[in-house]
Amino acid sequence: MKETKHKMHKPHFIHDIRIGIGDMCKITGVTGRQLRYWEERGYIKSLADEKNSVRKYSWEMLYKVGSIKVFIDEGYTLAKAVEKSELREKEMAIIRKFMAANMHGVEITDEEKLYGQLDLGQCEGKKIYGVVDENGSHLEFGEG
């Protein structure tokens, strides 16, 4: 079993990744025309660069475009897909904030199946663990 006790973090270089419009289209399945329209409407932003250069997007925009596309494919209008995507971003930010503040370590119990146990600290004298195993995902409580 492997255990890590590092604080969760986002690699610093993630903010330096630049994705050209062609790659954005290939990765997400959204057309260049759609991207330009979404940008005109203010739903997404390309990175500020020299005039007349190829549009480039951030890693965060890649995630947002992909998320919007998923909701559109599920039948939502563009406006509703953007709304749902933005809500999902906020939910994920709350989850990241919670995990960064409360996760004290991860114990990997099966590397192939990606099973493990998250140490979530204590509450009322009991240890709290988030467990991912053959039974799914659940909480377990242990003696403090």
Adjacent-strand bridge partners of 116:
108, 132
Please check whether residue 76 is in contact with residue 116, taking contact to mean a CB–CB distance below 8 angstroms.
no
> 83 and 19 share a domain?
yes
pTM above 0.85, yes or no: no
CATH number at residue 88: 1.10.1660.10
Q: How many angstroms separate the Cα of 46 from the Cα of each of 50, 59, 137?
A: 12, 11, 38
Mean pLDDT score across all residues of the chain? 90
Name the domain count of the chain.
2
Element (H, E) at 92: helix 78-102
pLDDT at 43: 98
pLDDT at 2: 56
pLDDT per position as a tens digit, 81-132: 999 999 999 999 999 999 888 889 999 999 999 999 999 999 999 999 999 9
Which of 108, 83, 91, 90 minimizes the C-alpha distance to 5? 108
> 136 and 89 share a domain?
no
pLDDT at 9: 55
Q: Is 90 exceeded by the pLDDT of residue 29?
A: yes
